[in-house]
Amino acid sequence: MTATADKAAAVDTVTLTIDGTEVTVPKGTLIIRAAEQAGIEIPRFCDHPALKPAGACRQCLVDVASPGPDGNLRAFPKPQASCTMTVTQGMVVNTQDTSPEADRAQKGVLELLLINHPLDCPVCDKGGECPLQNQAMSHGRSESRFVDVKRVFEKPLPLSSEILLDRERCILCQRCTRFSKEIAGDAFIDLQNRGAMQQIGTFSEDVLGFEGYGPVGVAAEDEAGAAFSSYYSGNTVQICPVGALTSASYRFRSRPFDLVSSPGISEHDSSGSAIRTDHRRGAILRRLADYDPVVNEDWITDKDRFAFAWQNLDDRVTRPLVRIEGELVETSWPQALAAAAEGLRTAMELKRKKGIAVLPGGRVTLEDAYAYGKFARAVLGTNDVDARTRIASDEEQAFLGATVAGTGLGVTFGDLEKAPAVLFVAFEPEDEGGVVFLRLKKSEGRQRVATVAPWLSRGNEKLGATLVPAVPGTEGAVLKKLPADVEKSLSQPGAVIVVGERAAGAAGALSQALALSKRTGARIAWIPRRAGERGALEAGALPGLLPGGRDAASAKARSEIAGAWGVPGLPLAPGRASAEIISSAAARGLDALVIGGVTVSDLTGDVVKALKKTGFVVSLEVRRSEVTDYADVVLPVAPPSEKSGTFVNWEGRLRSFATAIHTDALSDHRVLDALARELGFALGTATVAAVNAEIAGLAAVASSDRPAAPKVSPPAKPAGPIVLSSWHQLVDESALQDGEPYLAGTGRVAVVRMSAATAKKVGVESGSISLSGATRASVDLPVVVTDMVDGVVWAPAKSPGSWVARDLGVEPGDPISVKGGFA
Amino acid sequence: MADDDVWEVNRERDGRDAPFVSNFPKKGAVGQAFAPVAGFGVTLRNFFRPTVTEQYPRVKTPPMPRYHGRHQLNRYPDGLEKCIGCELCAWACPADAIYVEGDANTPDHQMSPGERYGRVYQINYLRCIFCGLCIEACPTRALTMTNEYELAGPTREGLIYEKQDLLAPLGQGMLAAPHPMAPGTTDGDYYRGDVTKVAQEQIDWVAEHRPDDPTLPVGVARG
C-alpha cells in the first residue's frame, strides 16, 4: 500500500475496531496500517510500507477477533501478526495497549530477538536511531533473562566496498533481501542456513562457510565476479531496522544527535530525488533518501546517497583567483570581479570581434541557468550559450524547443509506472535514469518494455525488456520500421516513448520518435542524465532557445524577452552549440569565454586547447579543475549543499531546495549578477526569489514562437564498419563522485562488449583489445563477447580505464578502430 | 494605574507612618555599656581556636577520594585505549562540554579493542560542571575522574582538553597504542579484565612497526 499522489478511485471500505476506536479503511488494508490511521502504534521491524508483507519478525502481534459465519465474534486462538493480516468488516483488534496477551507476546518476541543480538549499541552506527533499540525500550522487558553465550559471527562482512554486514546484529527481518528482490531486482543477498545459524549472506561459499549449499538459482555475477553490485544498495542500510547493514563511508563517523538534517534535492541526475543531508559542524556526513511519493518514493540511488565528498575536497576554490603574471593568485571579490569585468569589456569592445561564449555546464540550477542565459544575451550580446556539454545536435534543440521546453509537467513518474508499454530510445533506465528504473521495476510484468539499443543491458534485462537491435547512429531508421508488435503495444493509451540524451547523437532519431509518437499516440518523455539539463532548457541556456522554449530566431519572441529584460533587443546572430564553440575557440575563434561547471574530460573536443587559445576565460567553479588551470579569473561558486535553488527534473517538476549548510559561498546567479553590475548592467539575478519572480513574470509561450519540430531523415547505414556504443554507467569516475572510494568500489568493472561475429571479424575473442578513435590515446580493456548487434563495440563512457570522450575523442555512433589479440 | 492603586493600598496596610520598632530584644544597662567593644569578643575567642586557613598554593591538600576533578581516559593493562568513541559521554553531558569523533580500528592502526575507537576527544572545561554523568554513561569505564582540580588558564583554547591531555599515562609494562589486540582475545575479554599484561606478539608487532618506540621493554631491539 504505497501511498502515491495519484487520485484514489472510490473504494470499498470496511469498518473495524482497534483498541475500542472505530476505524474505517479501504478494503484490503493491513491491520498495522489501519492502526496507524487510528493513531495507534504497533511495534514492528520487518514491516515496510513499500515492501510486500513478510511476517518475518513477529513483533507486531496483536489480539484479533472477527465475526464468524454466524455473525458472532470469534477470537483467534493466538495473537496474530498485524503486518500480514488484512482487515475485515466488524473485526475487533486489541493491541499491546489494551490486551495483556498481545503485550506479553510482543515482550516475548522482543526478548527472543535480543537473545543473539550482541547489544553492542555503543559501537553501532545505528545506536540512537535504531528501531530495535527504541522498541526494546518502549515495548520490551526491562531486564534480560538470557545468561548463556551468544552466537558469534565474523564481523563486519563487506557485501561490497560500501555496504558492510554485521550478522550478529541481524534480526532476520528480510527487509534488505525483499528490497533487493522486489525493488532493485538485484537479488545478491538472501537468507541462508537454518535455525540459530540462519543469516543473510551473498551467494558465496566462503560466506556460507561450508560447501554444497549453493544458491538455488544461478547466482548473478557481473564481470568483476563481485557480489551485491547494485546501484541501489544504500537503501538497504537505510531500511535496516538494526545496525546489521552499515555503510563504510559513514562507519563510526557520528551519532544521530550530532547531526543537523536538511532536506534537499539530489544534484546527481535528472530525477530530482528528495534527499536528506545530515551534517555536523558544517561537514556533510551522510545523505539519506527522503520520502517523496510522487518522485522517488522511499528510494535513491547510491550515487545520490554516497557521492557528496566532491563538494569539500582539498581542491575546493574558496576565494576568487586572478591570473597575475601567469600565476593564479587569491584576491578579494571586488578585485576579481573588476578583473573579470575588465577582460570581458575588452573583448566586447574589440574592433574585430571574434565572439564571446558562455558554457554553463549541465549541472546548474534553473536560476543559475537563467542567469547564464540572460548574461550571455543581455550583457555580452551573444547567442553563444549552451548548457549541453555532451552529445548534442540542432535537431535535438528543435525537438526540445518544440516539445519539451515550457510544457510544464509532462509525462510523470506515475505515468511511467502505469504505462502499458514503454519504449526506450538511446536511454538506459538503470545507468542513466537512476530511480526511473525503480519505478519501472515496480510494474515489471504489467507493462511491455522495449529498448532500441545495440544490446540488452542488465537494467533492461531486469525490466524484462525486448531488444529492438540498433547500431548507434541508426536509431532513427529503426524507429521508422519498428517491429509490428512493439509498435502495436505503443498504440495503447498511456504508452510512453522515453528518449535519452544520447538520441541527439543519432541523426533523425528524435524526428522519428516524434513521428512514432504521432503514429501511435504514445507520449514522449525526454530523460537527460544531468540534473540541470531540463532547467537549462526552461531557462533558455541553449543557443537557439530563449526562456520557456521560445525560438531565438523568432522576432516576436526576441522582442518579448527583450521587453521583459529591459534591453533594446536581443542578439540576432544564431548561437553556436557547445561543440562548435569549443572547436572555434581551439582555432583562435573566441575572444572570451565564461565557463561554469564543465568537466573537460567529458567532452570530445580539445577543450584544453580551446581554453589556451581563448583570449580571456572566466571560470565559475567549485573546485580546481582543468578549466580553472587555464582560466584568467576564477570565481568560486557554491556547491549544491551550500546554496538554494531549483532543479527542474525530467518530468518538468520544479524541485526547489533550501541551503543545507550556510557558508559564504555564492551561487552562480549571484556571481553573474555581481559581474554584470561591474559591467554596468543590472542583471536582476541576485537572489533566487528575484530570478523566480522574473521567470514567473514571463508570459505563456505561443506555439508560433517555438521552434518547428525537427524533420531530419535518418541515415540508413551506420557511420562505419565498426561504430562505438557507449554510455555513462551510474557509478563511474565522473567528477561528482570524486573523493568517495567506497562508492567507486561498487561500480562495475569496465569491459568492452562486442558480438561473437564482430569479435571474429576483428580477430579478438578473449583477452583485451585496444580501441582507438579520432585522436590521441587508446582505450585498452578486456573483451566480453555479448549477444548484441554486429559491427558495434561498446565501452563505458567514463569508467576506470575507459574515458571514452577524453581518450578516444569520439561519440557514440562514430566509427572506431579496434586492435586486439593481446591477452 | 491599577498598579499604583495597589501600591498605595499596600503602603497603607504596611503602616507607612508607624514608628520603627526593632525585633531584637532590648539590652540591659550593662549590655548597653559594653556595646561599643562587644565585637572584640569574637576576635578574642578566635585567638584560642585552631587555624583553618589553607596554605594553597604553597600547600596542596588532597581532596576527598571521590572528588570530581579532571577527567581521564583510561587504558587496558596492555596499553590499548578503553575509549571506543561511542559518544555516550557527549550524549549524557548536560553542559555540552564533550566532543567526540569515532573512527574504525584497522589491523595497522588498532587503538582500542574491537572495531571502533575515539579519534577525537575533547572536553571543554569552560563548560564542564563536573557532574559526572559522563562517567556514569561510559560503557567501558574508559572515562573516569581524577582528583586534579587545578583547571584554570589564561586562554579559552587551553581549557579545551584534547585526547592527549586526557589520556592516562602509560603504566608499568604498558605498550603504547596502536598495536594489535592480545592474540585470541575479543573486546569482551578485555572488558571482563581477562587481559592483564602485554603479550609477546604485541611486543613483536611494535618492535617490527615502531622499533624506536620508547615503551618497548628494555632489551627489545630498538633502531
Please report, to the nearest 10 degrees, the dihedral formed by the alpha carbons of residues A585, A589, A594, A595 taken in order: -10
Burial of B160 (0-12, 13-18, 19+ CB in 10 A): middle
On the question of pLDDT at A212 being above 50, the answer is no
pLDDT of residue A220: 40
Contacts of A257 in chain B (CB under 8 A): 91
pLDDT classification of A225: cutoffs 50, 70, 90: very low
How close, in Å, is residue B148 to chain A by CA atoms? Answer: 28
| Matching residue, cell 586562554 | B155
Of A122, A251, A258, the CB nearest to B88: A122
- Return d(Cα A746, Cα A230) in angstroms, integer: 7
Q: By the CB < 8 Å criterion, does A127 face chain B?
A: yes
**Of the CATH numbers 3.40.50.720, 3.40.50.970, 3.10.20.740, 3.40.50.2300, which one belongs to the domain with range A13-111?**
3.10.20.740
Chain A positions touching B102 (Cβ under 8 A) are 123, 252-254
Helices (H), chain B: 2-13, 29-34, 40-47, 88-92, 133-137, 163-166, 187-191, 200-209
Q: Is residue B84 part of a domain?
A: yes
In a domain, B154, yes or no: yes
Distance of CA A60 to the CA centre of its chain: 35
Answer whether B101 touches A (CB < 8 Å): yes
Please classify residue A52 by burial: count the beta carbons closer than 10 Å to its beta carbon, then call 0-12 exposed, 13-18 middle and 19+ buried: exposed
Q: DSSP letter at A622?
A: S
CA distance B70 to chain A (A): 23
- A289 to chain B, minimum CA–CA distance in Å? 24
Q: What is the three-class DSSP state of A137?
A: helix
CA distance B109 to chain A (A): 15
Residue A461 CB contacts under 8 Å (≥ 6 apart), including other chains:
none
Q: What is the fold of A322-390+534-705?
A: Rossmann fold (3.40.50)
Mutation for A interface: B98, B99, B116, most A CBs within 10 A: B116
Domain A121-133+142-312 in CATH 3.30.1050.10: no
- On the question of pLDDT at A821 being above 70, the answer is no
Q: Does B84 touch chain A (CB under 8 A)?
A: yes
CATH number at residue B136: 3.30.70.3270
Q: Does B86 touch chain A (CB under 8 A)?
A: yes
pLDDT band at A214 (very low <50, low <70, confident <90, very high): very low
Domain spanning A723-822: CATH 3.30.365.10: no
Strands (E) in A209-342, as ranges, are 245-247, 260-265, 274-280, 283-289, 321-324, 327-330
Q: What is the pLDDT of residues A281-326, one digit of tens each?
A: 999 999 999 999 999 999 999 999 999 999 999 999 999 999 999 9
Measured in angstroms, the CA of A733 and the nearest CA of chain B are apart by 26
Residue type present at position A430: E
What residue of A is the nearest CA neighbor of B100?
A254
pLDDT at A213 over 50: no
Nearest CA of chain B to the CA of A127: how many Å? 9
Name which of A156, A251, A255 is nearest B91 (Cβ-Cβ): A255
Inter-residue contact A500 to A530 (CB < 8 Å): no
Three-state SS annotation for A776-819: CCEEEEEEEECCECCCEEECCCEECCEEHHHHHCCCCCCECEEE
What was the pLDDT predicted at A207? 45
The pLDDT value given to residue A221: 47
Is A801 in contact with A813 (CB distance < 8 Å)?
no
Residue A55 has, within 13 A of its CA and on its CB side, a CA count of: 11
Cβ distance A791 to A758 under 8 Å?
Answer: yes
Q: Looking at chain A, which residue has its C-alpha nearest residue B89?
A: A122
For residue A373, pLDDT beyond 70: yes
Residues B14-55: tens digit of each pLDDT:
666 667 777 888 888 998 898 889 889 889 999 999 988 889
* DSSP annotation of A385: B
This complex has an ipTM of 0.85
Q: Could you tell me if residue B60 is inside a domain?
A: no
Interchain pair B102, A127: CB under 8 A: no
> How high does pLDDT run on average in chain A?
91
B104–A251 C-beta distance less than 8 A: yes
Helix A100-115 vs helix A131-139: crossing angle, to nearest 10: 140
Q: What is the pLDDT of residues A599-631, one digit of tens each?
A: 998 998 889 999 999 999 999 999 999 999 999
B16 found inside a domain? no
| Cis amide leading into A49 (omega within 30) | no
Q: How far apart are CA A429 and CA A439, in angstroms?
A: 10
pLDDT band at A154 (very low <50, low <70, confident <90, very high): confident
Whole-number Cα distances in Å, B160 to A170, B99, B122, B129, B153: 39, 10, 6, 14, 10
Give the pairing type, strands A752-754 and A778-785. Answer: parallel
Does B91 contact A128 at a Cβ distance shorter than 8 Å? yes
Q: In the prediction, which pLDDT does A784 show?
A: 87
Taking CA–CA distances from B103, the nearest residue in chain A reads: A252
Task: State how far the Cα of B70 lies from the Cα of A792, in Å rounded to an integer.
Answer: 72
Q: Where are the domains of chain A?
A: 13-111, 121-133+142-312, 322-390+534-705, 408-529, 723-822
- Check residue A258 and report its DSSP letter: G
Nearest-angstrom CA–CA distance, A35 and A19: 9
Q: How far apart are CA A359 and CA A599, in angstroms?
A: 11
* CATH code linked to domain A408-529: 3.40.228.10
Q: Which three cell numbers stand for residue A299?
A: 528510494
Q: Which residues contact A610 (CB under 8 A, 6 or more apart)?
A: A581, A582, A583, A585, A586, A590, A593
CA distance A280 to chain B (A): 11
pLDDT the model gives residue B8? 58
Closest CA to A207 of A184, A185, A189: A189
Residues in chain A closer than 8 A to B87 (CB atoms): 254-255, 258
Find out whether the peptide bond into B178 is cis, omega within 30 degrees of 0: yes
- Which of A246, A255, A280 to mutate to test binding with chain B, by most B CBs within 10 Å of its CB? A255
Picking from A123, A128, A257, the nearest residue to B116 by CB comes out as A123
Q: Residue A64, Cα to own-chain centre: how many angstroms?
A: 44
- For residue B169, the enclosing domain spans 71-209
Grid cell 543545507 in the structure block, residue: A660
Nearest chain B alpha carbon to A150: B188
pLDDT at B223 over 60: no
Query: A162-171, A206-215, B87-96: which has the minimum mean pLDDT?
Result: A206-215
* B120 in A contact zone (CB under 8 Å): no
pTM for this prediction: 0.90
pLDDT for res A228: 59
Would you place residue B132 in the very low, low, confident or very high pLDDT band (cuts 50, 70, 90)?
A: very high
Q: pLDDT for A116-151, tens place per residue?
A: 999 999 999 999 999 999 999 999 988 889 998 898
Residue A801 has what pLDDT? 86
The angle at the Cα of A298, spanning A410 to A363, to the nearest 5 degrees, equals: 55
Residue A40 and residue A799: Cα distance in Å, rounded? 50
Q: Between helices A366-374 and A688-697, what is the axis angle to 10°? A: 70
A270 closest CA partner among A531, A539, A647:
A531
Asked, for residue B144, whether it belongs to a domain, the answer is yes
Mean pLDDT of chain B: 90
Instruction: Average the pLDDT over A71-94 and give the result.
Output: 94
CB B115 to CB A123 under 8 A? yes
Contacts 24+ apart (CB under 8 A), A330-339: A333/A674, A336/A633, A336/A634, A336/A635, A337/A635, A337/A674, A337/A675, A337/A678, A338/A678, A339/A632, A339/A633
Burial string for B184-198 (b: 16+ CB within 10 Å, else e) reads ebebeebbeeebeeb
Those residues with Cβ within 8 angstroms of residue A636's Cβ, 6 or more apart along the chain or in another chain: A316, A317, A318, A319, A320, A620, A621, A622, A665, A666
pLDDT digits (tens, 9 = 90+) for A525-535: 999 999 999 99
**Is A223 in the B-facing interface, judged by CB distances under 8 Å?**
no
- Distance (Å, whole) CA A548 – CA A531: 18
Give me Rg for the CA atoms of chain B.
31
CB atoms within 10 A of CB B181: 22
> Does residue A226 carry a pLDDT above 50?
no
Closest among A614, A625, A617, A621 to A635, alpha carbons compared = A621
Substitution target from A119, A121, A123, A130 for chain B, most B beta carbons within 10 A? A123
Q: What is the pLDDT of residues A409-418, one digit of tens each?
A: 999 999 999 9
Cβ B116–A253 below 8 Å, yes or no? no
> Which residue does chain A place closest to B116, by CA atoms?
A123
How confident is the model over B154-196, as pLDDT tens digits? Answer: 999 999 999 999 999 999 889 999 999 999 999 999 999 999 9
Which of B88, B91, B115, B119 to probe by mutation at the A interface, max A CB count within 10 Å? B115
DSSP alpha helix (H) spans, A525-571: 533-539, 555-565
Range list of β-strands (E), chain B: 71-73, 98-104, 116-124, 143-145, 160-161
* Interatomic CA distance for residues A499 and A479, integer angstroms: 12
Q: For B103-127, what is each residue's pLDDT tens digit?
A: 999 999 999 999 999 999 999 999 9
Q: How much is the pLDDT for A5?
A: 46
Contacts of B85 in chain A (CB under 8 A): 252
- In chain A, residues with a C-beta closer than 8 Å to the C-beta of B139 are 122
Q: Which contiguous run of DSSP H or E holds residue A136?
A: helix A131-139
B103 close contact with A: CB closer than 8 A: yes
**How close does chain A come to B118, measured CA to CA in Å?**
9
Contact A757, A471 (CB under 8 A): no
Give the chain B residue whose CA is nearest to the CA of A124: B86
Please state the rounded mean pLDDT for residues A380-389.
95
Nearest chain B residue to A123 by CA: give it. Answer: B86
pLDDT at A224 over 70: no
Q: Which of these, A310, A307, A316, A313, lies nearest to A266 by C-alpha position? A: A307
**What is the tally of structural domains in chain B?**
1
Bridge-based pairing of strands A496-500 and A421-425 is parallel
pLDDT-derived band at A279 (thresholds 50, 70, 90) equals very high
Question: Angle formed by the axes of helices A668-678 and A366-374, to 10°?
Answer: 20
Answer whether residue B179 is part of any domain: yes
Contact A527, A433 (CB under 8 A): yes
Q: Which three cell numbers stand for residue A316?
A: 575546493
Relative to beta strand A633-636, strand A448-453 is unpaired
Contact list, B103 vs chain A (CB under 8 Å): 252-253
Which of A133, A150, A252, A279 to substitute to test the interface with B, most B CBs within 10 Å?
A252
Strand A421-425 vs strand A545-546: parallel, antiparallel, or unpaired? unpaired
Provide the pairing of β-strand B98-104 with A792-794. Answer: unpaired
Residue A252 to residue B115, Cβ atoms within 8 A = yes
CB A647 within 8 A of CB A365: yes
Assess contact for A697 and A389: CB atoms under 8 A: no
Contact A77/A68 with Cβ under 8 angstroms?
A: no
Of A374-388, A673-687, A792-806, B66-80, the one with minimum mean pLDDT is: A792-806
**Closest among A610, A625, A547, A540 to A579, alpha carbons compared:** A610
pLDDT at B222: 52
Give percent above pLDDT 90 in chain A: 78
Residue of A nearest to B140 (CA): A122
Residue A216 φ/ψ region, left for φ over 0, alpha for ψ in the -120 to 50 degree band, beta for the rest: alpha
